Amino acid sequence: MRTDHRLALANERHLAGDLAGARTLYETVLADEPANADVLFRLGVLALQHAAYSDALGWLDRAVALAPRESRYRFARGQVLSAAGRFADAIDTYRGLLAADAPSADLWFALASALQSSGDARGAAPAYEAAARLDPAQVDALNNLGNCQRQLGAPELAQDAYRRALAVQPDHAGALTNLGTLLLDNGQIDTAIDLLGQALRSAPDSPTCLLNLGVARYARREFDEAAALLRRTLELDPHFPEAAYNLGNTLQALGLRREAQAQYRHAITLDPQHADAHNNLGNVSKELGDYKAASESFDAAIRVRPGFVAAYNNAGNLMRTLRRTADAEALFKAALAVDPEHSASHNNLGNVLKDCGALDEGIVHYRRAIESDPHNVVAHSNLAYALTFQAEQGEAVLEECRRWSARHETPLRAAHRPHTNDRTLHRRLRIGYVAADFRDHCQSLFTVPFFSHHDHAQFEIFCYASVERPDALTRRLAGYADVWRDVRELDDERLAQQIREDGIDILVDLAMHMADGRPLLFARKPAPVQVAWLAYPGTTGIEAIDYRLTDPNLDPPGSLDAPGAHASGASDRQYSERSLRLPDSFWCYDPLTDEPAVNALPALTVDTLTFGCLNNPCKLTDRTLAMWSAVLRQVVHARLLLMAPAGNAHHNLARRMEHQGIDMQRVGFVPFQPRVDYLRTYHQIDLGLDTFPYNGHTTSLDSLWMGVPVVTRVGETAVGRGGLSQLVNLGLPELAAYSDEAFVRIAVELAADRTRLADLRQSLRPRMEQSPLMDGARFARHVEAAYRHMWREWCAG
């Protein structure tokens, strides 16, 4: 067979994909013609196709040596160098060809690809541009140009390049996908989904197209559709870690936490270095209550990606949940060492410092969080709430809450829509309650006695629950509702839509600016009448909230502007809402247990009297400690029992207490405990000392239930008059002091009267049971009367 015939046959087999047959024929030709550069070139190409890069370079070096001016041999050599990852050598080869020969689109494209692969997007971009100029139909060059511009932080130029590619080839799946994901990153979700849908129609079995459309559907909160797309992705490519990771995100959003956990683990099996999967596995494990697995996952995320700020924060929040405040503080500070302006880290550090009683330092970090990100609504709510523990006048809190409103509520007002609720005065009203704490939480001590006495003939009760881990109390509360909705997975906009669809007449906020509250839901004004109650008797500053419930002791009335309970007074200027005073009490309490029983007064059997305060350390202000110090100076054999997490909280409190002249040898601490153990701690306490300017509220009721009277300091704010309200309702106003000196005098006199303390210890529980503080039916009728008053005012326009 002639050489030219054998060579033609070899080329034919090469093009047909019969690489082994082609190689045999090339080698037979080479045996006859060892200096045939074209055969050497083709053998080099064959070796490249087999990824045998050393062999490929050997063949091509021989071809170049025989024909040094043949540019296609040197071009192929550059391609081998690129494929072998020797980008610098490839770039030198391509630049040499550009200098020696007339430039071509393919050569510029190859140079650009090598530059991009080497990480030099800045050098690659003009090379791709040159390729596109020489060949305007070079769609891949335009698409890759867009990718380079995106890497360089020039999204407008990237978008232009993708659109130029699509002008040439409208169904180019790569350009459609890249433009779609670019617009998705820019928040243009609907346009992105349209483009990504076109990409999938162009390449219906492309895992990449399916994945990106799934991610976009997730961004539009179309979780069922996203899950279907991502499951299909994994069917086509079971070894695609990004698909498993994003399916995990989608399942978590659907509330399918166990399934999400399995997908994150699958993603990590496919890619053990997937830091985001480790991080999200930690989040879902925490939600499932598997704290050990969560901690291990966060540690793995940080190990895989040192400086992973989100993982530091998630690990810190886990430590805060576990009351390991020193560890939490260290993790948040580690995050700030990586990014000193990271808003969420400042917010989280503020939380843990507040937990430890370092309120002033916590407030500094809340302010830093807002400075770093003015749109951080959580930090701004935390700041507003933290100020209530510090401020002795309500105006300071109101000013911050109004700033909150100006920044976060004002942009939502334009979207408010008129309410079309039936204005019939005496019809059955739909009342909606919004909370994340319909569970084993102190809030349930108040919602259970209230909800269990609602008049369902007059009021249809809806509960919108964002409970992370429902429990027995969740089920109990759900039994008191006519309609129970689990809305944890709904964002504020979707929840507002649901509330409108439910036709809610009066919507009640049970969290305000506290943790897991939804103030932006109320700012959307989904119900015609909106009310703040329970979390704390202060203000939200939210103009869309019309009323706040209070009582005559929290807010002393002045002139009457409404019948009976609805008197207003000078204190009302502290609130953005209208104040409606319930006749007796802002609270109605049920301890939800008869255990433990009240014990005998400890001071009857020992020489030492024990003062106690089991409030959160954030309430232990210097003003409070100074009053307590004066009491301890006069009751020389007394000790003081406090509640605080171990570590930094103890050290911080000890330093501040010593500064106020308190001997730490007389002070004991107990940790945060489960409720039964916490209540049993009152068995060690003879007399409670209240905090100022934020009194104990739930804690004081618990103390009184356990037979421990509380001496309170009355302030000018509603939160500073909680103790007064409770004591007046018990018929014990003499335990309320209107000055620091009076506080000290009352505490000292009562400490000296063991007989009265013993009598109070045995009488307080039955006194509470017979008071308005525990009369659920009475409380419910008063609140329902307030609802009717609100409704009449709305119907009147």
Residue 36: pLDDT over 90: no
Same domain, 545 and 613: no
Residue range 469-484: average pLDDT? 96
Examine residue 279 and state whether it is found in any structural domain, yes or no. no
Give the per-residue pLDDT at 568: 52
- Return the closest-CA partner of residue 694 out of 678, 671, 713, 709: 713
- Specify the DSSP class assigned to residue 567: B
The CATH number of the domain holding residue 32 is 1.25.40.10
- Angle, helix 3-16 to helix 37-49, in steps of 10 degrees: 20
Examine residue 780 and state whether it is found in any structural domain, yes or no. no
Examine residue 401 and state whether it is found in any structural domain, yes or no. yes
Domain count across the chain:
4
3-state secondary structure 125-168: HHHHHHHHHHCCCCHHHHHHHHHHHHHCCCHHHHHHHHHHHHHH
Same domain, 382 and 454: no
Give the per-residue pLDDT at 362: 97
Examine residue 278 and state whether it is found in any structural domain, yes or no. no
Same domain, 231 and 118: yes
- Residue-wise DSSP of 248-296: HHHHHHTT-HHHHHHHHHHHHHH-TT-HHHHHHHHHHHHHTT-HHHHHH
Residue range 518-546: average pLDDT? 97
Same domain, 623 and 744: yes
Same domain, 758 and 639: yes
Please report how many Cα atoms fall inside a 13 Å half-sphere around the Cα of residue 180, on the Cβ side. Answer: 28
CA distance 536 to 531: 13
- Residue-wise DSSP of 694-735: S--SHHHHHHHHTT--EEEE--SSSGGGHHHHHHHHTT-GGG
Examine residue 595 and state whether it is found in any structural domain, yes or no. no
Q: Which two tokens stand for residue 412?
A: 């939502």
Give the per-residue pLDDT at 565: 44
Strand order in the sheet with 710-713: 667-670, 639-643, 610-613, 687-689, 710-713, 736-737
Same domain, 672 and 747: yes
Domain stops at, among 230, 245, 260: 245
- Return the closest-CA partner of residue 644 out of 663, 623, 627, 664: 664
Residue 50: pLDDT over 50: yes
The CATH number of the domain holding residue 645 is 3.40.50.2000
To the nearest whole percent, how much of the chain has pLDDT over 70?
98
Give pTM, 2 decimals.
Answer: 0.88
Residue owning tokens 């005073």: 581
Residue 122: pLDDT over 50: yes
604 compared with 40, residue with greater pLDDT: 604
Give the per-residue pLDDT at 570: 55
Examine residue 251 and state whether it is found in any structural domain, yes or no. no
Examine residue 793 and state whether it is found in any structural domain, yes or no. no
> For 553-570, how does the pLDDT look when each residue is reduced to its tens digit (9 = 90+)?
999 986 333 334 444 555
Q: Which two tokens stand for residue 86?
A: 């020797």
Examine residue 621 and state whether it is found in any structural domain, yes or no. yes
> For 58-105, how does the pLDDT look when each residue is reduced to its tens digit (9 = 90+)?
887 887 888 888 888 888 888 888 888 999 988 998 898 888 877 888
572 compared with 635, residue with greater pLDDT: 635
Same domain, 69 and 215: yes
The CATH number of the domain holding residue 576 is 3.40.50.11380
To the nearest whole percent, how much of the chain has pLDDT over 90?
81
| φ, ψ (nearest 5 deg) of residue 465 | -105, 130
Same domain, 41 and 136: yes
Same domain, 194 and 313: no
Domain ranges, residue 755: 602-774
Q: Which two tokens stand for residue 50?
A: 């087999």
Same domain, 86 and 224: yes
CA distance 266 to 429: 49
Domain stops at, among 348, 381, 412: 412
Same domain, 403 and 436: no
Same domain, 158 and 51: yes
Domain stops at, among 549, 581, 613: 581
